[in-house]
Structure 1
Amino acid sequence: MKILLVEDDALHVAYLEEQVARALPEAKSIIVAGDGAEAEDLARQPDVGGVVMDLQMKRRNGIEAARTIWSERPHTRILFWSNYADEAYLRGIARIVPEDCAYGYVLKTVSSERLHLALRSVLVLGQITIDREMHRIQARGSEAGSSLTDSEYAVLLDLALGFPDKEIALRQGVSLRTVQNRLLSLYDKLAVDVDENEELANGVNKRVRAVLRALLTRTLNIESLESAERTRLGR
């Protein structure tokens, strides 16, 4: 099995090479891509069975690269590792991962022992592995009951892309009333505190405030918006 490492930081590459060699003695070789675009090319090499993927890179991010790799080779096992425990990243991965495909997500701050476990769980055993530290960080950063449903998150993405309610309804295949109800739920969960009087008197736009709150709470991030925009453009 050939392992592809996708990372644009030289120190992280050296660390990953060492840890993969220790954790996966069955790996025949390790190859390295410096960004997502290069990763898409190298993933087409024969015998690439596993990928360790950074998420934030200057040229083509990890989610976009993973989407291309999975579209061509849906059984490729990918372990994402990142500095960030963003809800947007987890949702972005969940939207593109093929059915029955093994993948994982760990933070770069995990111990070498836990990284070894994640590497073997995903790339050898074919399991889905989300590091527990991510769940702890997310729990500290959000209030109970504030998590968006998948349907609410889809409306939030369309809202961020600038679509009006009627177009969102068409895109989501639901009624206009359903979209409006989901927007009200979004405003509540994202703590968009703008009443009707303030909206009318001061011109405060509740929709823009919702997107701002989503970015501040890292419910959305730049990578998730870039991915949604590329999907809209059919790229």
Structure 2
Amino acid sequence: MLKAIIIDDETVTRKGLIKHIPWSKLNIELAGEASDGKEGLEIVKRVKPNIVVSDVRMPGMNGIEMAREIKKTQPDCRIIFLSAYADKEYLKAAIDISAVSYVEKPVNLIEISEAIKKASQMCLEDENRKADKDSIDTVIYDNIPFIKQNLIEKLTLSSEISSEEVNRNLDYLKIQFNDKDKFIVMVLEVKNRTEDNLEKDEYEKILNTVEKYIKDIKNITTYKDNNIVSIINYRDDSIKNLLLGICDFINTKVDKNLKLFCAVGQSEIGLKNINKSFTAAQKTLSKVFYYGYGTTVFYKENRKDIELPSDEEIQTRMSKHLSEENKDEAVKLIKKTCRELKKYDIDDVNYIKCIFFRLCVKIFREANRRGIYDSKTNYDVDEHIWEIMLNLNTIDEIESYMLEKINKSFEEIEEIRSSSRTIFEIKKFIDKNYKDENISTKTLADVVYLTPSYLSALFKKEVGKTISDYIVEVRIEKSKEYLKDNRLKLLEVALNVGYSDPNYYTKVFKKITGITPSQYREKYKQ
């Protein structure tokens, strides 16, 4: 129901309108009356009426002055003026204020009723327009993520854009981009520690964090193809310093275990050139291989005159170090090769991976020649190693993998020398079959064609511990790796290392390490 108040210094007129106008039939609540403009203004502030019926000439504040004050805070309030004077100045003022009507005194009830009906209709139309606008605003608000995604899709994939469509979407987002502005595109690659793609709510959290980080700069930010993409409208080069810190900011605010890499395209002028900056940013994503996660890299053209280290020379030197059993030199060669290849920063990452693939195959075959690995494997070694290389995303990860392989190979060469072949075979069997709950000294004795008692004595002499103790140690060490995967339940970890009873596994784990599996898992997270 609409609300109205009457303001007139003439009591007779005021009371007459209150009594004779059919307010309820007009669906209007009479919310108050006043005898002067000042008092009327106070009532207006308190009850916020839709319609004000007011005399023009009143002591103190007149109707025109009062109406001007009302319009400052309630621009949609409808004013009907009453006056015993057909004063041109007042009429002009009433028109300026957009008064609904100017009714002369003595008041004609039919005329004033029609004026009130007209004001009522205008109020209802105002409410309908506001409801329509609110409805449209709600629809736009609910679709802002889609509008952003659609706009970024248009601007990043082609220079052939519809200015009308782009401007309409920018209006929806309440953002103003000028065609002579400077733009850069940032693409943020986001992965969790296990290399899996994130859930939608995780992307939303990161997206909100990015928007918060760059909130003082005009931007459109959304997620696209499992990455966060931001079109940034900037003024000066201070944006570069800002983007250099974005990975640390997200890790601090969201999750320190996220693997983040920020690639930034070159600066471009104008909306139609944004796609060029996006293409450069996409190309720069491959640089994560050299710079690693947690960094921000800006696009730059590669040098054309690069002379890469000789692959053949690297392979020859590794063969020499392996044949001479020179572990230190083999390690130095891997570290030096990784350090040098980082400097070249070439786009063809697979070329770099091929160098290390060949080195890894060489290490494997040399170890196999010395009896470290079984010559009859149930998989294609080359294919297996290449698959591993493809899944290593940075040169640092490759370096770690290569050094691990070298260290393991040389450790096992040393182990062969320091212990009998029999003990080596037993350890290898345990290492492959620790998941078997029923593994025992008898099982192992059958493998090497010895009696259990003789094997036990030999093992104790060579290794310095019983077979049972060694099996327990292997199982506990293997379980530590499984505990690093938070997706595995404790029961699954126990079963994976040969314990069907998780309580017994926990007891053994604590006896060996001094802490429970759960405590170890929490310690690893930190």
**What is the TM-score of this pair, normalised by structure 1?**
0.48
Q: Which has the larger radius of gyration?
A: 2
**What is the TM-score of this pair, normalised by structure 2?**
0.22
- Higher relative contact order, structure no. (Cα contacts within 8 Å, ≥ 6 residues apart): 1
